[in-house]
């Protein structure tokens, strides 16, 4: 019987499309899940979407649709991205699923009936984007301590959970289970900043909005979004609060307690304080580990739509393949400090690791195998010095890889495998197979060298199955081997001599760094007007003088023609008449305007913007528009003269 292993992501908030930093979490969790399967365990990998709360209700109103319709669209987009990133989840839960709603209502009633919840009034600070409550001490300068956005004062009737009732018990548990919260510095933050400071009772219902799970015995209340969301980890595997632990479903008894919750560091408080206390109140075991991963920043700045520095994983994959995106995400995120993504960094990592190191190694090895042995794997001969060193490198790599993965040092595990490929490339230079091939007396030695290379590649590919599974599958298929599990790494030599390898292929095509960087940056700028809204008050911007404003030349123009850009859903190509000249502008407004909506309309143009090439089309300026979720072109009166400067 396989050992069970239950791993989860935090469920993604269904307010908008997840950016690269959000998507990292599901990629990393998938790598850990695949690793555990390779160890021979029965893995249950759960992810999903958190779909209730005031923020979503507000966004639905702005979009003039129902909250359910809104979250149906965003949840579908999130799941589509998870699938596009080749993540192997076993269950995708939505907090609007009927079974989840029913169990949350039962849990809330159970807490109330056993005296953990009481009715009162809430008055204090509230952060709508974070769906979080804060005391006056926590709300420094009226801003959210988590996201830094302005807080609002709220007063309403609410139910409260008696957190203090379980605080000492939780502190004892954390002391007795030193690995419960990882990394260590995150544990210190939770203990020192929250537990030792004293827990206040938690507001667990709202009456100021309706988009949430109704409290069935008091329907003017909806369940606090975090009580709703956190319980997904047990509702997803069949928990029923009306049954004892022994009476629970076989799936629940097999997989609970969870082996690890993988979450972002910003929601650690909810998972290491609120969630354990809710479980204690349900008389359920606590998860074995909560791992709070760092963030991916854009360069040195936090990703923010309002800053225009958001990167999306699915769009990046169009340029660098899915495995290229997965590799960057997994190799660039440190264990405890924030990672960084820049287009320059992605291109460099892609070319250096995937093209030069891995791709080149596999291609030239299989090319030599075809040239010298007609693709038939030779049987290795006597072992020599460099052979033994290569075999030892394989053994030490797997040991280090395994330790790093067990400790959640994913980037270090990735580095181990690519260091092995580095060593194999060096082995080619040391043994010079092309020189051996010139001497028939050295044919056995040549066969041994190529066998050692292919076996090293096989061992690396087995480990890569956790990280870049499609590429690993391609390599193992080219090697024509069924030796794909960790048991096959116990010794050097699982590749079967006498079998025939496949034709070599280019795994990753080299990217022209300069050209690709220009293309990506232009596309990002073009997409900026159509970006989804950051649901936050702008933090302010630098003031400029009149001399700076005067540098921007705004001119009036008429749209002579408009057409869609092939292979670019967001772009329209416009032909404009400025009176004194005609020019072409590419604008990211296709989602909101059909070409016929624009023809003969007068618009404002940034006339002195440097030309940019978008999807191979030159754009000579930018038309003015407002909004993000819904973009509105700034149209001018029909009698506006062409080419007139706007001041």
| Average confidence (pLDDT) over 208-228 | 95
Instruction: List, for residues 506-562, the tens digit of each pLDDT value.
Output: 999 999 999 999 998 888 777 664 444 444 444 444 566 666 666 788 999 999 988
For 246-322, strand residue ranges (E) read 260-264, 290-293, 296-298, 301-302
What's the number of CA atoms in the CB half-sphere (13 Å) around residue 180?
A: 23
* Residue 287 near residue 258 (C-beta atoms within 8 A): yes
> Rounded CA gap, 50 and 589, in Å?
30
Tokens of 40: 């021979």
| Average confidence (pLDDT) over 433-460 | 96
Q: pTM of the predicted model, to two decimals?
A: 0.79
| Average confidence (pLDDT) over 28-50 | 98
| Average confidence (pLDDT) over 4-26 | 96
Q: Between helices 20-38 and 313-320, what is the axis angle to 10°?
A: 70
Cα-Cα-Cα-Cα torsion 584, 585, 589, 591, nearest 10 degrees, comes to: 40
Instruction: List, for residues 24-34, the tens digit of each pLDDT value.
Output: 999 999 999 99
| Average confidence (pLDDT) over 134-153 | 77
Instruction: List, for residues 340-396, the tens digit of each pLDDT value.
Output: 899 999 999 999 999 999 999 999 999 999 999 999 999 988 766 667 889 999 999
> Rounded CA gap, 43 and 472, in Å?
20
Q: Is the pLDDT of residue 43 over 50?
A: yes
DSSP state of 528: G
What is the per-residue pLDDT for 37?
Answer: 98
pLDDT band at 152 (very low <50, low <70, confident <90, very high): confident
Q: Is the pLDDT of residue 463 over 60?
A: yes
**The length of the chain, given as a count of residues:** 647
H, E, C per residue of 389-417 = HHHHHHHHHHHHHHHHHHCCCHHHHHHHH
Tokens of 348: 């460099």
Q: Is the pLDDT of residue 232 over 90?
A: yes
What is the per-residue pLDDT for 529?
Answer: 47
| Average confidence (pLDDT) over 422-428 | 96
> Rounded CA gap, 264 and 20, in Å?
13
Q: Is the pLDDT of residue 186 over 90?
A: no
What's the number of CA atoms in the CB half-sphere (13 Å) around residue 27?
A: 30
| Average confidence (pLDDT) over 41-65 | 96
What is the per-residue pLDDT for 323?
Answer: 98
Of 176-185, 472-481, 613-622, which gets the smallest average pLDDT? 613-622
Q: Tell me the helices (H) and strands (E) count for the chain, helix number first.
A: 22, 27
Instruction: List, for residues 293-346, the tens digit of each pLDDT value.
Output: 998 888 767 776 656 678 999 999 999 999 999 999 999 998 888 898 999 999
Instruction: List, for residues 96-110, the tens digit of each pLDDT value.
Output: 999 999 999 999 999
b/e per residue, 266-300, with b = 16+ CB within 10 A?
Answer: ebbbbbbbbbbbbbbbbebebbebbbbbbbbbbee
| Average confidence (pLDDT) over 155-170 | 92
DSSP state of 269: H
Mean pLDDT, all residues of the chain: 90
Instruction: List, for residues 263-304, the tens digit of each pLDDT value.
Output: 999 999 999 999 999 999 999 999 999 999 998 888 767 776
Contact partners, residue 492, CB within 8 Å, separation at least 6: 391, 394, 395, 455, 459
| Average confidence (pLDDT) over 483-502 | 95
Give how far Cα 288 sits from Cα of 136, 251, 255, 257, 407, Å.
33, 17, 11, 7, 14
What is the per-residue pLDDT for 386?
Answer: 64
| DSSP states of 563-611 | EEPTT-TT-EEEEEE-SS-EEEEEES-TTT--GGGTTT-EEEEETTPPP
| Average confidence (pLDDT) over 117-144 | 79
147: nearest Cα among 273, 55, 29: 55
What's the number of CA atoms in the CB half-sphere (13 Å) around residue 540?
A: 5
Of 154-158, 213-217, 365-369, 399-403, which gets the smallest average pLDDT? 154-158
Q: Is the pLDDT of residue 128 over 80?
A: no
**Which residue do the tokens 């509105």 mark?**
632
What is the per-residue pLDDT for 530?
Answer: 46
Listed in sequence order, the DSSP H helices in 483-545 are 513-527
C-alpha angle 374/379/382, rounded to 5°?
130
Instruction: List, for residues 556-614, the tens digit of each pLDDT value.
Output: 999 998 888 887 778 889 999 988 888 999 998 888 888 888 888 899 999 888 888 87
Q: Give yes or no for a cis peptide into 538 (omega within 30° of 0).
A: no
A 10 A CB-CB count for 144 gives 21
b/e per residue, 486-522, with b = 16+ CB within 10 A?
Answer: bebbeebebbeeeeebeebeebbeebeeeebbebbeb
Q: Give yes or no for a cis peptide into 440 (omega within 30° of 0).
A: no
Structural domains of the chain, ranges and CATH numbers in brackets:
342-489 (1.10.730.10), 531-646 (2.40.50.140)
């Amino acid at each position: 019987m396989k050992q069970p292993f239950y791993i989860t992501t935090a469920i993604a908030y269904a307010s908008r499309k997840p950016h690269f930093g959000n998507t990292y979490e599901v990629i990393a969790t998938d790598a850990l899940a695949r690793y555990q399967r390779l160890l021979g365990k029965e893995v249950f990998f759960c992810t999903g979407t958190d779909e209730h709360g005031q923020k979503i209700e507000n966004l639905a109103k702005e979009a003039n649709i129902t909250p359910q319709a809104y979250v149906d669209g965003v949840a579908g987009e999130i799941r589509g991205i998870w699938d596009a990133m080749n993540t192997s989840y076993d269950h995708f839960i939505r907090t609007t699923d009927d079974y989840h709603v029913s169990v949350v209502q039962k849990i809330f009633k159970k807490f109330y009936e056993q005296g953990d919840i009481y009715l009162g009034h809430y008055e204090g600070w509230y952060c709508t984007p974070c769906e979080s409550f804060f005391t006056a001490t926590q709300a420094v300068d009226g801003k959210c301590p988590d996201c830094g956005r302005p807080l609002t004062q709220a007063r309403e009737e609410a139910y409260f959970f008696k957190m203090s009732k379980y605080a000492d018990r939780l502190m004892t548990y954390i002391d007795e289970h030193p690995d419960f919260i990882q990394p260590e510095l995150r544990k210190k933050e939770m203990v020192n900043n929250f537990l030792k400071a004293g827990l206040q009772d938690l507001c667990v219902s709202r009456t100021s909005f309706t988009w949430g799970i109704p409290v069935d015995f008091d329907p003017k209340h909806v369940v606090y979004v975090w009580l709703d969301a956190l319980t997904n980890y047990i509702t997803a595997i069949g928990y029923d609060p009306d049954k004892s632990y022994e009476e629970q479903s076989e799936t629940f008894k097999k997989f609970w307690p969870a082996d690890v919750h993988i979450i972002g560091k910003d929601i650690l408080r909810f998972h290491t304080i609120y969630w354990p206390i809710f479980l204690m109140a349900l008389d359920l075991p606590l998860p074995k580990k909560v791992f709070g991963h760092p963030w991916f920043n854009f360069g040195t700045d936090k990703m923010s739509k309002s800053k225009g520095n958001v990167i999306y994983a699915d769009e990046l994959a169009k340029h660098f393949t899915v495995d290229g995106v997965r590799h960057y995400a997994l190799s660039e995120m440190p264990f405890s400090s924030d990672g960084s993504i820049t287009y320059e960094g992605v291109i460099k990592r892609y070319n250096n690791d995937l093209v030069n190191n891995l791709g080149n190694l596999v291609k030239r090895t299989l090319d030599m195998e075809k040239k010298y042995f007609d693709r038939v794997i030779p049987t290795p001969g006597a072992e020599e010095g460099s052979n033994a060193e290569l075999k030892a490198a394989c053994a030490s790599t797997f040991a280090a890889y395994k330790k790093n993965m067990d400790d959640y040092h994913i980037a270090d595990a990735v580095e181990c495998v690519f260091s092995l490929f580095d060593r194999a490339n060096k082995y080619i230079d040391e043994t010079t197979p092309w020189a051996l091939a010139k001497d028939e007396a050295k044919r056995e030695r040549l066969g041994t060298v190529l066998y050692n290379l292919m076996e090293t590649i096989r061992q690396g590919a087995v480990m890569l199955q956790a990280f870049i599974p499609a590429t690993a599958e391609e390599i193992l298929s080219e090697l024509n081997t069924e030796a794909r599990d960790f048991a096959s790494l116990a010794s050097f030599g699982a590749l079967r001599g006498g079998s025939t390898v496949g034709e070599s292929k280019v795994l990753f095509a080299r990217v022209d760094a300069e050209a690709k960087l220009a293309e990506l940056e232009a596309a990002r700028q073009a997409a900026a007007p159509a970006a989804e809204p950051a649901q936050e008050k702008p933090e302010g911007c630098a003031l400029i003088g009149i001399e700076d404003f005067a540098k921007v030349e705004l001119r009036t123009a008429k749209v002579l023609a408009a057409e869609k850009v092939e292979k670019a859903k967001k772009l329209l190509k416009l032909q404009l008449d400025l009176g004194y000249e005609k020019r072409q502008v590419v604008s990211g407004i296709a989602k909101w305007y059909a070409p016929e909506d624009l023809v003969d309309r007068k618009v404002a143009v940034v006339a002195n913007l440097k030309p940019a090439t978008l999807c191979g089309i030159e754009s000579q300026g930018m038309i003015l528009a407002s909004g993000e979720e819904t973009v509105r072109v700034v149209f001018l009166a029909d009698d506006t003269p062409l080419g007139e400067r706007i001041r």
